[in-house]
Structures are given as structure tokens and as C-alpha cells.
A = this chain, B = another copy of it.
Amino acid sequence: MAKVVMKFGGTSVADLAYISKVANTIQTVVANNNQVIAIVSAMAGETNKLIDFVNHSSSFSDAREFDAVVSAGENVTAGLLTLALHKLNIPARSWQGWQVPVKTNSIHGAARLVDIETHNLEAKFSEGMKVAVVAGFQGVSKENRITTLGRGGSDLTAVAFAAKFKCAHCDIFTDVDGVYTADPRIVYRARKLNRIAYEEMLELASLGAKVLQTRSVELAMAEKVPVYVRSSFSDNQGTLVCEEDERMEKRTITGVASSRNEAKLTVISVADRPGIAAKIFGKLSESGIVVDMIVQNISEDNRTDITFSCPTEDADKAEKVLLESRTDGLVNFQDIVQDKNVCKVSVVGIGMRSQSGVASQMFSILANEGINIKVISTSEIKISVLIDRKYMELAVQALHDNFNLHSNWATQHNE
């Protein structure tokens, strides 16, 4: 008898009718002689309601109490789904994080998994339990306090259970039916990918394609757990996130990602000597500002300009932090220039590793559309550019068209 992990997100368990539908989905899998570990999120909206409660309760909230409160939503779903399974005569029981137990460290609100004990679940499986319904997103610290794994933590719970119980794959049921070559709201010919490599998914996840939580993809990659993303609301084929294979390597580009939430800051005329960049970005990091792209121009007269990007909402804070550093004499520069009217467009693909010329091809496509590139940053399997925000849709469409991401060729080689 094989074990399967099935994870259901908040929109998939939004009300009792949906929960009942989820029970039917599980029933089919149990009928095929599987034991199921079902990981559930809170009913859509519940966790946000609880977070609002906490935020209004105290301005300096204790993360341990935050976790005690916000973990309640998953517990409710776990019990309700178990009852829906009982209605179908399926032997099931609910498991809260501390009952499994799902052991984590004590960094409340963003805990790291330490271990998942298997013997309690295994004992119940051997007594005839067919479905273990596990409250996702939560665990227990060695101090016996409830912890949560951070936003999207149920994905991480699911992948961790699949790894620990040596499941063949981990199925993530969500409100989209897979990973696309581009945002279908921007590119109407965007095509659903049947397969995507972990590395590609990681680049896409960190670029804002919010299908899977980044940490869950990292864990899946490390533990070699194939993750199958599919819709709760249709029987359409989903997308398998897995190790790269020959088929993937044949495609140059897998997808085009875009993010509107970017700001560009340029620190003008910084002294060009060792340690200056470390001081600037150390200061920003201390202030909790996540810097994404960094570019340093050629130095003239021992002065240089440093440009970086960060989320739009952090731009003013970043400027303030750097101006204060100048006042304190930590860094010396002439001026800071902000640009909040930018966006980031990226092409991602495993195939890029073995194919040169992708960058120049991308720049030509954008140039042909008259789009000026402001900042460029590259990794082994990704090229990102900052451009004027008003060109975002145009750029994504042009890249998708010119890299032939909609084509049958890609589909044929993608099965």
C-alpha cells in the first residue's frame, strides 16, 4: 500500500461544500489502495482574520502568542475534513502539529522544521487509518509551544511529510491548475507547463509566481520529492515540479515572469574603495529591507554609482536609512535618486545553461519594441531586467511570442 501526500490550500477548503468535495477527491485516491496524508490550510480568510486580531491586540506582539492564535484555523479545517471523510465511511483522524509531532525550532512565526516523527501516524495507519488529516503550517517547539512556519507554510508541511514518509510524490491542490509560461492575465496564449525543473520553479516562485512557497520548493529539490501542482476545481492535468530531464533541456526558455512591485535606487558618486558596498547593503539588511538586484557602474575619478532594486514599499525607508548613514559619517555619497515607476521582467529556463546568446536575444526583442533597459542581472538559468513599468505587459508578450513559448514544438517536447 503506497502513501500519498495531498495538500489543500485555503480556497480549496473555503466552506463546508468545498471540504466535502475535497473528501470525494481523497476517496478516489484511497479507493486505489493508497494511504493518504492530507495537509490542510485554514478556510480561506480565517488566518487573515486571526492575524488582524493579533495586530489589533498589541503593537509589540509576542510571536509565541501570535502562533497560538493563528494556528487555530488549520485545526478547525483538519477536524471538519476528517468528519467529511467519516461520512464517506473512510477511517480518518485529524492531527494537530503537536500530536504528530511536527518538531520545529523556536523561531515563532517563521519556524524551521527540525523533524517529523513518523511512529504515531504509522501506528494508526497499521491499525487501519486510511487518511491522516494534518493541520498544515504549524509545529511544536522543544519548549512545547505552538509554532508556525510562515506564510505558505502548509506547502512546506506537505513536502516535508512526503519526504519523511518516502511518498512517490506530493500533490498540491490549489486554485490555479498549474504553472504557466507567463501570467495568463497578461499573455492570453500562455501555456500550462506539464513539467518544470525545481531550479526553474524556484526562480519563478521568488519572482512572484505565487503557486508554491519558495521554501517548499527548496525542500522538494533537496529531498528529491516530485511536487504535482493541480487545481481543486477541475480535473485538468497540472504541472509536475521535478528534477530536470532531457526534455526540459531542449527548451531554451521555460517561462517569462514579471513583477510590478519594484523600485530602483541609485546612490550617486560613492567613494570606490573596498568595503563601501558592504557598508551600504549591511545597513539596508539590518533595517529589514530585502535588496534584489545590485549593479555597480564603472568607476571614474575613484567615485562610482551603485544602483539597486527593492520592493516599492521599502524604497522611502531605504533612502532614509542611507541618508542617516551619511549623516553618521558611515558612507559618503553625493545624492540618491529613486525611481518607483519600474518593473522587473525575467526569462527563466534550465536550457540557458547550455545555450549562449539568450541574453542578447532578449535584449534585441525588447529593443525592437523600443523598450529601454535600466538594470540587468543574470543567474545561471535566469535573466532579469528592470524597465519602465508601463512597458511590462508589452515586454512579457514580446518575449513570450519571440521565444515561441506558446508553440506546439514546445508542447511536444514538454510531455
Contacts and interface: CB of A to CB of B under 8 A. Distances in A.
A60 interface: yes
A86 B60 contact: yes
A152 to B, nearest CB: 21
A373 interface: no
A278 to B, nearest CB: 36
A95 to B, nearest CB: 9
Given A56-B16, A57-B19, A98-B98, A69 B80 contact: yes
Given A68-B78, A72-B76, A83 B57 contact: yes
A65 B93 contact: yes
A66 interface: yes
Contacts of A250: none
Interface in A193-224: none
Interface in A61-75: 61-62, 64-66, 68-69, 71-73, 75
A150 B52 CA distance: 29
B96 A83 contact: no
A126 interface: no
A405 interface: no
A30 interface: no
Nearest to A50: B76
A234 interface: no
Identify the interface centre among A50, A58, A68: most chain B CB within 10 Å of its CB.
A68
Given A65-B94, A98-B98, A99-B144, A54 B80 contact: yes
B87 A58 contact: yes
Copies of this chain per assembly: 2
A28 B73 CA distance: 33
Contacts of A146: 96
Contacts of A99: 144-145
Interface residues of A, number: 39
A56 B19 CA distance: 11
A297 to B, nearest CB: 48
B76 A94 contact: no
Contacts of A75: 68-69, 71-72, 75
B65 A82 contact: yes
Interface in A45-60: 50, 53-54, 56-60
A79 interface: yes
Contact of A87 (B59, B66, B96): B59
A84 interface: yes
Interface in A133-158: 144-146
A284 B10 CA distance: 45
Name which of A56, A72, A145, A146 has the most chain B CB atoms within 10 A of its CB. Answer: A72
Contacts of A94: 65, 68
Given A53-B16, A79-B69, A84 B98 contact: no
Contacts of A19: 57
Nearest to A20: B57
Nearest to A120: B144
Nearest to A88: B58
Contacts of A86: 58, 60-62, 65
Contacts of A59: 87
Contacts of A83: 54, 57-58, 61-62, 65-66, 69
A80 B96 contact: no
Given A53-B76, A72-B75, A79-B66, A84 B96 contact: no
23 contacts: A16-B53, A16-B57, A50-B76, A53-B76, A53-B80, A57-B87, A62-B82, A62-B83, A64-B93, A65-B79, A65-B80, A65-B86, A66-B79, A66-B83, A68-B75, A68-B78, A68-B79, A68-B82, A68-B94, A72-B72, A72-B73, A98-B98, A99-B144
